[in-house]
Structure 1
Amino acid sequence: MLRIGICDDSADARIALRAALERALDRRRGAGTFFEFSSGEGLLRWLEKHAGELDMVFLDIEMGELDGMETARRLRAADEGLQLVFVTGYTDYVFDGYSVGALGYLMKPAQPERLDEVLDRGLEARLREEDKVFLCRSGETMYRIPKKAILYFSSDRRQVSCVSTARTYTFYGKLDEVERTVGDSFVRVHQRYLVRAGAVERMDGGQIFLGEEVLPVSRAHRSAALAALARTALEG
Structure 2
Amino acid sequence: MLKIALCDDNNDTITKYAELISELAEKYKIQIEISCFNSGESLLFHYGYIQEQIDIIYLDILMDKTDGMETARKLRDNGCKAQIIFLTSYEDYVYEAFEVNAAHYLIKEDTSKEKFENVFLKAVERVSENKEELFAFKFEGKTTVIPVRDISYFEIWKRVVTVYYGNGESAKFYYSIERLENELSRKNFVRVHRSYLVNLSYIEILQNQSIKLKIGAVIPVGVTYMESLKSSLSDYISRFHIFNATKLNNGDGSL
TM-score by length of 1: 0.54
Structure 2 equivalent of residue 36 of structure 1: 36
Q: Does the 8 Å CA contact 1:104/1:118 hold for their aligned counterparts?
A: yes
Structure 1 Cα separation of the partners of residues 80 and 60 of structure 2? 19
Q: Does the 8 Å CA contact 1:24/1:116 hold for their aligned counterparts?
A: yes
SS of the counterpart of 2:145?
A: helix
Structure 1 position 20, deviation (Å)? 1.3
Unaligned stretches of 5+ residues in structure 2: 136-141, 148-255
Structure 2 equivalent of residue 70 of structure 1: 70
User: Taking structure 1 as reference, are residues 134 and 50 closer, same or farther at Cα in structure 2, changes over 3 Å only?
Assistant: farther
Identical aligned residues as a percent: 30
SS of the counterpart of 1:13?
A: helix
Structure 1 equivalent of residue 244 of structure 2: none
Structure 2 equivalent of residue 81 of structure 1: 81
Structure 1 position 86, deviation (Å)? 0.3
Unaligned stretches of 5+ residues in structure 1: 136-175, 183-236
Structure 2 equivalent of residue 180 of structure 1: 145
Structure 1 Cα separation of the partners of residues 31 and 112 of structure 2? 19
1:160-193 CA distance string (max 9 Å, x none): xxxxxxxxxxxxxxxx76x7258xxxxxxxxxxx
Q: Which amino acid aligns with 1:111?
A: S
1:1-236 equivalences under 5 Å are 1-48=1-48, 50-109=50-109, 110-131=111-132, 180=145
Structure 1 position 111, deviation (Å)? 2.3
TM-score by length of 2: 0.50
SS of the counterpart of 1:63?
A: coil
User: Taking structure 1 as reference, are residues 2 and 52 closer, same or farther at Cα in structure 2, changes over 3 Å only?
Assistant: same
Q: Does the 8 Å CA contact 1:8/1:63 hold for their aligned counterparts?
A: yes
Structure 2 Cα separation of the partners of residues 64 and 8 of structure 1? 10
Rg larger for? 2
Structure 1 Cα separation of the partners of residues 49 and 79 of structure 2? 13
Alpha-carbon RMSD across the aligned residues, in angstroms, is 2.6
Q: How many residues in Structure 1 have an aligned counterpart in Structure 2?
A: 141
1:192-229 CA distance string (max 9 Å, x none): xxxxxxxxxxxxxxxxxxxxxxxxxxxxxxxxxxxxxx
Structure 2 Cα separation of the partners of residues 5 and 37 of structure 1? 7
Structure 1 Cα separation of the partners of residues 134 and 48 of structure 2? 18
Q: Does the 8 Å CA contact 1:106/1:114 hold for their aligned counterparts?
A: no
SS of the counterpart of 1:94?
A: coil
Structure 2 equivalent of residue 165 of structure 1: none
